[in-house]
Structure 1
Amino acid sequence: MNVHARPVVAAVAAALVNGRPYTNVLDHSRTGNVRISAKVEGETVEAYDHSRGHHVTGALPNGVYHHGDAAHIAFTRVGDTVTGYHHGDQTHFEAKVKGGEVTLFDHGPSQHFKFTVG
């Protein structure tokens, strides 16, 4: 999945698992903060990437739409793990959430990426 979608996916995964909103993501692979607001209420995702000006909205599990990528992203939660699929890049992902730490495995490049949400 593209470099800009990963922190959004991490923020949504953390909001889904922890049941609370987030307003900032530290992307350890890019060494910097990314201002992303994300919340999940019931089955509804509302996120906004402030740095790129893109909304990510819709209903879980398959109706979430990343307006900047013009693509749907599927999210499925099982415990503290969120799996899914970015339809635009045609890649699967798995996000393990431990409090504010998210480890995202992106099957596209077959790499792990670490994020801290706050």
Structure 2
Amino acid sequence: MLMTVPLLAVLLVSGAFAVDLGMQRVARADMQALADVVALDLARELDGRTVNALVDVLEEKKERSLARNHDMVGSAKPDLAVTMGSSPRPASSPSCSAAHPRRCASSPGPG
């Protein structure tokens, strides 16, 4: 009886931590899945327009995507920020050509 009470308290605390860590993992997976879905929805709008032309469109699409994908752990609406990145352009110097790929610093190479 003397060992039962402390052992029961330790088991109760361990169980609470296990449930809490499980909820954290589920919430993190939900947030990652939501970010992936929103990114894919927004990627469909990338059609060659400039960043300035896309700002309003992407913000509207982000809100629609968030509203459509609301089934996640937790009741608070996540705060997602849309940031536009850029990809490097290939070198376009006269000495950089397909005939001389070693002269190109960022040559993708054949095939």
TM-score category (smaller protein): under 0.3
Higher strand proportion: 1
With the length of structure 2 as denominator, give the TM-score of the two structures: 0.26
Report the TM-score, using the length of structure 1 for normalisation.
0.25
The structure with more helix, counted as a fraction of residues: 2
Indicate the structure whose relative CO is greater, using CA pairs within 8 Å and at least 6 residues apart. 1
Which has the larger Rg?
2
